[in-house]
Amino acid sequence: SLGGQKITGIVTVNGARVMLENGGWGLVRASSNTPNLVVVCESPESEAELRAIFADIDAVIRTEPEVGDYDQTF
């Protein structure tokens, strides 16, 4: 799950987009103009769910030693 929603699919074109059962999603991709990761999230339900999706993705990224510097916040 991600942000409290069941994961229904993953699309790996231009990053990794995780699709959620309520239509929300989270995307992790490389920046097109800086050597950074970009996280983009969307929730059709609420800002609280949007923040929860971001927090879950952020927690995974921060545990991966291969990621290196990562400074994105909500």
Identify the structural domains of the chain with CATH numbers, from first to last.
7-67 (3.30.310.50)
Q: What is the pLDDT of residues 13-49, one digit of tens each?
A: 999 999 999 999 999 999 888 888 999 999 999 999 9
CA–CA distance, 66 with 74 (Å, rounded to integer): 22
Q: DSSP assignment of 4-17, as one string? A: TB-EEEEE-TTSEE
Q: What is the mean pLDDT of the chain?
A: 93
For the question of whether the overall pTM of this predicted structure is more than 0.85, the answer is yes
CA–CA distance, 25 with 12 (Å, rounded to integer): 13
